[in-house]
């Protein structure tokens, strides 16, 4: 006969099994009853019909879902100037490798995307700062009052307000000597006597023509916000003094300078030197006078906004003229449970008239129970893409090309092929491109013809054979042209490995 204690354990075990079995069903039923549609694990979508009339399209991310993250998107993959639709950017980064978890190799599955920062329509350069996949890719404006929304490696999210970059906190360190040089900017053209850090998000190459020096550095991880004495480390692979631009592989940076800086760089570094990069944002309070915290450290993704309309559960004051008018809107708001992407259609009296920023704030606070929110670029730019299709009606009648965006991404684990190995000779089976990184989202460096002979070479982050954009990729040296090639384009030249000098 079963005793009382055994019976209790049996009942508890049965209840646990029922919870596991019916938990997802219960969640789905709860979503259905509230109007939310589950589109992926941890991501839901809902359209709101509101008085006005107004139609608001909302996607939400469950902050407890560990493998769902925020990521920024960059038009054409380059900050030197380019425009692209939200759909185009979502497709660009879907299936691409990311740097979630401190190293490259995992992949994006993009499920939701919206447009991001305001931008210069002539140049395609976004206003404010950008952090992409851990890379601090564009500096936020100094002392502007508002910076942007940031998603961090620890799954925290915050709204950045007034920031500035202390010159003594942006440093390049020679790890052999301990000597340091100041970094004057990121992903801009260097001016005389400046040292500029160029990351892969700048463009396919450094755009240097004749003046100055380029130093190519391979990194262990993205050049992220990491205050001194902490740093991202790397190895100097090449110092280029001759005229001409330097290609920027996906895991490299270029230190570019001219004037007095190029002489300093040549004396400061030699090929093979170990270096460290330390970058820091000083976060100030709303009066732009007093430092608050180091919240920006290890931020993974961020774009700039122009109005923080909801902060710590309080609707904020704002006086910008555009905030008082009815317009299509794009915003991100959040609470401790969810992050919401919000797009409101407008400029159509019969369908959706749009919102003022105050109405947007009230919607986020009252309908979504958000505590914090920031306004992004709106008008004809406002676009919400969900699982392969645009769900709202952009006021231009079609998708507008924009400078950047924000995505909800499911992180898929790294997969690798073992078909080849470093040192093996390979042959191009047909004309194929050599890319600056593993994936077609990275620019092509050059191409090779059918029967071209190459050698698979060592890659510091051990990504040879990694799956990206639907195929496996290998780092190959074709007579000095080094880059990443689709496995399907390669065959082995012979059974024996070539003599390899592909050490780190």
pLDDT digits (tens, 9 = 90+) for 100-135: 988 899 999 999 999 999 999 999 999 999 999 999
pTM, two decimals, is 0.91
Domain termination residue (choose one: 353, 382, 412):
412
Question: What is the percent of the chain with per-residue pLDDT over 70, rounded to a whole number?
Answer: 91
Do 406 and 444 have their domain in common? no
Both structure tokens of 495: 């059974």
Do 294 and 405 have their domain in common? yes
- Which positions ≥6 away from 289 have C-beta within 8 Å? none
Nearest 5°: phi and psi at 168?
-75, -5
Is position 17 within any domain?
Answer: no
B/e letters for 132-142, b = 16+ CB within 10 Å, e = fewer, are bbbbbbbbbbe
Q: Provide the number of structural domains found in the chain.
A: 3
pLDDT digits (tens, 9 = 90+) for 277-320: 999 999 887 778 878 766 899 999 999 999 999 999 999 998 88
Q: What is the pLDDT of residue 503?
A: 40
Nearest to 252 by CA among 268, 240, 267, 266: 240
Instruction: Look up residue 9 and give its DSSP letter.
Output: H
Do 152 and 190 have their domain in common? no
Both structure tokens of 367: 């309908």
- Measuring CA to CA, how many Å separate 274 from each of 176, 187, 250? 7, 22, 19
Do 383 and 475 have their domain in common? no
Domain termination residue (choose one: 214, 243, 278):
278
Asked whether residue 21 carries a pLDDT value surpassing 80, the answer given is: no
- Measuring CA to CA, how many Å separate 421 from each of 105, 203, 292, 480, 491? 17, 30, 50, 18, 12
Q: Return the percent helix, strand and coil in the chain, to nearest 5.
A: 15, 40, 45
Asked whether residue 22 carries a pLDDT value surpassing 90, the answer given is: no
CA 256 – CA 198 distance, rounded (Å): 7
Is position 222 within any domain?
Answer: yes
Asked whether residue 178 carries a pLDDT value surpassing 80, the answer given is: yes
Both structure tokens of 337: 């449970």
Is position 497 within any domain?
Answer: no
Containing structural domain, residue 483? 425-492
Do 56 and 150 have their domain in common? yes
Both structure tokens of 76: 């054409």
- State the pLDDT confidence band at 211, using cuts at 50, 70 and 90: confident
Do 144 and 211 have their domain in common? no
CB-based burial label for 272 (10 Å; 0-12, 13-18, 19+):
exposed
Q: Decide: 380 and 327 in contact? Cβ < 8 Å.
A: no
Is position 501 within any domain?
Answer: no
- What CATH number is associated with residue 457? 2.30.30.40
B/e letters for 288-323, b = 16+ CB within 10 Å, e = fewer, are eeeeeeebbbbbbbbbbbbbbbbbeeeebebeeeeb
């Amino acid at each position: 006969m079963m005793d009382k204690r055994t019976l209790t354990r049996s009942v508890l075990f049965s209840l646990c099994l029922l919870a596991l079995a019916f938990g997802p069903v219960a969640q789905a039923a709860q979503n259905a009853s509230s109007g939310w549609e589950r589109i992926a694990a941890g991501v839901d979508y809902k359209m709101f019909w509101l008085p006005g009339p107004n139609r608001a399209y909302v996607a939400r991310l469950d902050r407890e879902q560990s493998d769902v993250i925020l990521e920024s998107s960059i038009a054409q993959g380059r900050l030197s100037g380019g425009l692209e639709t939200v759909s185009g950017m979502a497709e660009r980064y879907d299936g691409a490798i990311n740097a979630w978890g401190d190293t490259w190799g995992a992949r994006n599955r993009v499920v939701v995307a919206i447009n991001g920062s305001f931008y210069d329509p002539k140049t395609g350069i976004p206003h404010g700062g950008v952090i992409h996949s851990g890379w601090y890719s564009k500096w936020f404006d100094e002392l502007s009052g508002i910076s942007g929304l940031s998603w961090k490696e620890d799954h925290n999210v915050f709204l950045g307000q007034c920031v500035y970059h202390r010159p003594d906190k942006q440093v390049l360190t020679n790890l052999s000597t301990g000597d340091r040089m100041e970094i004057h900017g990121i992903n801009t053209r260097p001016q005389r006597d400046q040292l500029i850090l160029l990351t892969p998000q700048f463009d396919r190459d450094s755009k240097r023509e004749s003046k100055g020096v380029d130093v190519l550095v391979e990194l262990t991880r993205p050049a992220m916000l990491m205050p001194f004495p902490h740093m991202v480390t790397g190895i100097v692979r090449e110092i280029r003094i001759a005229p001409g631009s330097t290609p920027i592989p996906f895991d490299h940076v270029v230190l570019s300078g001219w004037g007095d800086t190029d002489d300093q760089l040549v004396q400061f570094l030699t090929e093979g030197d170990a270096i460290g990069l330390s970058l820091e944002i000083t976060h100030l309070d709303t009066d732009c006078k007093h430092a608050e915290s180091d919240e920006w450290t290890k931020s993974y993704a961020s774009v700039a906004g122009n109005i923080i309309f909801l902060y710590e559960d309080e609707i904020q004051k704002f006086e910008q003229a555009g905030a008082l008018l009815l317009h299509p809107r794009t915003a991100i708001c959040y609470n401790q449970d969810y992050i919401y992407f919000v797009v409101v259609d407008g400029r159509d009296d019969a369908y959706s008239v749009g919102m003022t920023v105050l109405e947007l704030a009230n919607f986020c606070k009252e309908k979504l129970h958000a505590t914090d929110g920031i306004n992004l670029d709106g008008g004809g730019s406002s676009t919400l893409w969900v699982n392969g299709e645009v769900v709202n009606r952009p006021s231009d009648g079609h998708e507008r090309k924009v400078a950047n965006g924000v995505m909800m991404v499911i992180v898929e684990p790294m997969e690798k092929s073992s078909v080849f190995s470093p040192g093996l000779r390979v042959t191009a089976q047909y004309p194929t491109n050599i890319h600056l990184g593993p994936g077609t989202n990275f620019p092509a460096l050059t191409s090779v013809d059918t029967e071209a002979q190459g050698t698979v070479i060592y890659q510091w982050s051990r990504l040879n054979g990694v799956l990206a954009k639907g195929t496996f990729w290998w780092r190959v040296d074709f007579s000095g042209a080094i880059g990443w090639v689709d496995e399907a384009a390669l065959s082995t030249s012979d059974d024996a490995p070539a003599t390899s000098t592909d050490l780190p």
